[in-house]
Amino acid sequence: MMWYLILITIYFMQEQCSSTFSPFTNLCLLVQTNYSCRCLIPKTLYCYNLKLDHIPQLPLSNKFIQWNNWILAKNNFKYLSAHSFIGHTIHTIDLDSNYLSTIDINAFMGINGSSLRQLILSNNNLSYLHLSIFKHIPNLQTLILNGNRLQSLTFTQLNNLEVLELDQQKNDKDEFLPNLSAITSLLTLSLKFNRIKYLSSSHIFPSSLQSLKLTGNFIRHLSSRLFRFVPNLRYLYLDSNRIETIDSNAFLDIKYLLELNLAGNRFKTIPTYFVLEKLPYLKIFNLSFNQLTILLPNSFDTLLNLEELDLGQNQIYSLSSHTFCTNKSRFQQLSVDLSSNSLTTIDYCTFSNKNIKFINVGYSRQLRCSCSLDKLKLIDQIELKGYCNSNQHIMSSSNQFEKCLNWTNGGCKNSCERETYFYPLSQIELLPTISSYSNIIESKTSKSWHYQTNFMSTFTLLIFHFSNIF
Ligand SMILES: *[C@@H]1O[C@H](CO)[C@@H](O)[C@H](O)[C@H]1NC(C)=O
Ligand SMILES: *[C@@H]1O[C@H](CO)[C@@H](O)[C@H](O)[C@H]1NC(C)=O
Ligand SMILES: *[C@@H]1O[C@H](CO)[C@@H](O)[C@H](O)[C@H]1NC(C)=O
Ligand SMILES: *[C@@H]1O[C@H](CO)[C@@H](O)[C@H](O)[C@H]1NC(C)=O
Ligand SMILES: *[C@@H]1O[C@H](CO)[C@@H](O)[C@H](O)[C@H]1NC(C)=O
Ligand SMILES: *[C@@H]1O[C@H](CO)[C@@H](O)[C@H](O)[C@H]1NC(C)=O
Ligand SMILES: *[C@@H]1O[C@H](CO)[C@@H](O)[C@H](O)[C@H]1NC(C)=O
């Protein structure tokens, strides 16, 4: 019986650990017995959630046995003593969600050939990290320190560090914004949810930086030449802050930016021409979850390489036909997200620009099924997603839309208007843009077919009216 069990275990371990039958298999068994850790392919020691309070003491790695990744997350480690990993070749150590408050300066001493590349110390109780800790792991590329209690940080030893995450420090200080300019190899830095109120200079970031995440802070304004010390920045995330204003020279030094996320801020208007003209290579621009109401002509004209524009979850009720349909701009296959706004109609010309490929108008509860929308749907390269209000027709997937609309020679009949109304093609192409709320009210109140929609729109418009006053 006993032998039978052991054989099954060996068979099972072989499946789990390694495709060849080697001393490695037996070693897995050993580890399993002593610490209940498991071996996973490829070369991973998996000791997750086992209430361990000491790092497993395993036989030294050699050319047959080696665990490149030590998953030690969710245990009870409070302290990392000296030489915890000595004699092993390790690429990744994951110590997430323990209770570490102290790390011996020699904790990482003796790791074979400075092999450690990735160290995860998130969600511990660290308030201080001694500089010399990193002396023993000079090849570290990724360091994750989210969810600790760090007060300040200075690094000098980490000459190969590329990714540093410092989100959500739970210290008693107001804000956590360390000077990291000494990490001259850093490419990606994350400082989310650290109560940062005021970013006065970028002289705290290394000039190598390509991606900066400042999501979920309290920043209100971006000042002139703010990014002067990070000229290589490609990705900038400033979502969920309180930004209302941007100086026209704020982005002067980061002309190669590819992605700008300003979602969840307090913008009432699109940042001006003078702000955006500094970002000629921008591909992704996110302005969702703001307080935008009107899109003015030519707002995005300078963003010639824009591919994704997210304007969802605003209060946009007016869209100039020359916002997207301009002589100047030649968008490269642009997708526009206008979902969850307050548009009532979209002029055909608005999106007749040949390089727009996708428009999402989902959850625009007041969008009317109009001939110009229908015409838009007929443009081959545009994929239109969303509903118009009167019959909740899905515009993208079918011909159901024609319940209201009927195309005839040279025009379109809309039977959901006052009476069946005929729009000649020329009129559809030049349909006036609704540029002020008084226009909307006028065009709405002349209709009798949908009293409730009328009332709702008027109501919403009144809210706009009031919010404009205050
Ligand atoms: C595993 O446990 C046994 C008995 O408790 C002990 O003799 C052996 O040294 C341990 N092995 C390791 C690698 O810790
Ligand atoms: C790691 O270092 C130990 C002690 O220096 C040595 O015995 C072992 O062979 C090394 N392992 C590898 C994979 O280099
Ligand atoms: C965190 O560390 C402090 C001392 O630095 C200690 O008082 C506290 O109990 C620790 N918290 C946990 C959850 O271990
Ligand atoms: C950050 O440190 C660098 C070099 O250590 C220094 O030159 C720079 O002035 C510091 N930045 C700020 C904002 O103090
Ligand atoms: C824009 O940001 C919002 C909120 O963070 C997010 O949900 C959305 O997916 C983003 N859009 C794009 C195109 O990345
Ligand atoms: C585009 O150019 C044509 C003639 O070249 C002009 O009539 C039209 O007004 C221009 N439209 C815009 C939006 O500038
Ligand atoms: C559209 O026109 C066709 C043929 O003229 C007619 O059968 C159909 O009922 C019309 N649809 C609507 C919604 O008026």
Question: Do 127 and 151 touch, CB atoms closer than 8 A?
Answer: yes
Interval 306-354: pLDDT, tens: 999 999 999 999 888 788 876 655 777 889 999 999 888 777 777 776 6
pLDDT of residue 325: 75
Q: Is the CB of 62 under 6 A from ligand 2?
A: yes
For residue 451, what pLDDT band results from cuts at 50, 70 and 90? Answer: very low
Interval 210-226: pLDDT, tens: 999 999 999 999 999 99
CA of 37 to the centre of ligand 1 (A): 13
pLDDT of residue 468: 33
Q: Is the CB of 99 under 6 A from ligand 3?
A: yes
What average pLDDT does this structure show over 361-366?
Answer: 78
Pairing of strands 211-213, 188-190: parallel
Domain ranges of the chain: 294-401
Question: Do 86 and 112 touch, CB atoms closer than 8 A?
Answer: no
Among candidate residues 420, 414, 364, 359, the one with its CA nearest the CA of residue 392: 364
Q: Is the CB of 34 under 6 A from ligand 1?
A: yes
Superfamily, domain 294-401: Ribonuclease Inhibitor (3.80.10.10)
Q: How far apart are CA 405 and CA 420, in angstroms?
A: 9
- Of residues 178 and 466, the one with the higher pLDDT is 178
Q: How far apart are CA 102 and CA 93, in angstroms?
A: 16
- Map tokens 């490149």 to a residue: 68
Per-residue pLDDT for 61 more than 60?
A: yes
| Residue 424 backbone phi and psi in degrees, to 5 | -65, 150
**What ligand 2 atom has the least distance to the C-alpha of 61?**
11
pTM, two decimal places: 0.81
Percentage with pLDDT > 70 across the chain:
75
Q: Is the CB of 36 under 6 A from ligand 1?
A: no
Q: Is the CB of 102 under 6 A from ligand 3?
A: no
Which range is least confidently modeled, 32-36, 107-111, 157-161? 32-36
| Ligand 2 atom 11: residue of nearest CA | 62
Q: How far apart are CA 304 and CA 191, in angstroms?
A: 30
Element (H, E) at 276: helix 273-276
What average pLDDT does this structure show over 356-362?
Answer: 82
